[in-house]
A and B are shown apart, each in its own frame.
Chain A
């Protein structure tokens, strides 16, 4: 850094400290205007006050921006969660430039102007940094939500004592299939169920990988001492599986979930009979 730059930086430091309240008030006003009426004014003011203190420390002690960056990262994460746009968040930081400009506008001070240019460059950096953190915070929120959605969209349900089912709905990708299958196998152990139905009626298509994962799950269940039935295979999926040359071997498949239930009930020794008055009666057959 040049001597001029240093002098400018010192002058800027003096100014920012001396006129702290003025600059801060103007900054809060400007920032408040950019984010509109959606932000809670007192909360925003509190956050900016903290950032301002860290900025003073950064300028005064020269160089170490870690505190300042930490605070800004925190600010942009909060803004991201509260639903602000990245542009709005960066604008909050950039508006500090205008707030400080008010200080030197009235004075004819070259040193202060140099200091301002130096500060403006720092603020640009910080604004970009805020933008970056905002984007990565947003991405984190999206992945978290995707994970939650995955949990929600893959229930393992009990059909009968000893019979579990996973009704799969929607497009299956490799990751989701793996999660479902792990959940199913865990469910078998926890409930001591010897039968499971994987129903893919709601699945429009499968690729090789997904078909392989389904197949592996059935084999893994068998290794654990449980039997899986796959039901609801659409004609297109059957076509895909055969065309891809995937060997389904001796895995039991049924046309519908109802057929699969009937099959697994029979396998577990439960007899279902229909009485004359059309009530379905279920009895346990000794095996």
Chain B
């Protein structure tokens, strides 16, 4: 299975579309109901982040396999202002966008692998993976 879906996040309704697509793919991978809910919630947080801080972006949803288990990889990219201090951005309660500050730190706890890259002025890329148990 190498099916990948790419979606553009440009408006509020796109966040809902991303959630639905991630749910479909998570079911396809065979994630448990709780794990599906976790990864969909993380996707919702990250998609909203891209919208709020960068005015939009895109996500690539892909089914992956590490030789033992299937998993779902979500790759969020945007060309926004970037994050100057990654450690600070990953702290619970830290927010510059008027949110609860749980978007990044919270979604990190909801997935198995979390990778954050950002360059000031160029954009941000968040890659997360949830493995099927």
Contacts and interface: CB of A to CB of B under 8 A. Distances in A.
B133 A175 contact: yes
A178 B32 CA distance: 12
Contacts of A178: 34
B133 A182 contact: no
Interface string B88-100: 0000000000000
A182 B33 CA distance: 10
Contacts of A175: 133
Nearest to A178: B34
Interface residues of B, number: 2
Interface in A12-37: none
A114 B91 CA distance: 70
A206 B133 CA distance: 22
Interface in A156-200: 175, 178, 182
Contacts of A182: 34
B3 to A, nearest CB: 24
A30 to B, nearest CB: 37
Interface residues of A, number: 3
Contacts, number: 3
B29 to A, nearest CB: 18
Contacts of B34: 178, 182
Interface in A125-179: 175, 178
Contacts of B133: 175
B47 to A, nearest CB: 24
Nearest to A181: B34
A175 B34 CA distance: 13
B68 to A, nearest CB: 11
Nearest to B133: A175
Interface string B15-36: 0000000000000000000100
A176 B12 CA distance: 38
Nearest to B33: A182
A174 to B, nearest CB: 11
B112 to A, nearest CB: 13
A182 B37 CA distance: 13
A213 to B, nearest CB: 12
A175 B35 CA distance: 13
A178 B34 CA distance: 10
B33 to A, nearest CB: 8
A175 B32 CA distance: 13
A182 B34 CA distance: 8
A150 to B, nearest CB: 12
Interface string A250-268: 0000000000000000000
A175 B133 CA distance: 9
Interface of B: 34, 133
3 contacts: A175-B133, A178-B34, A182-B34
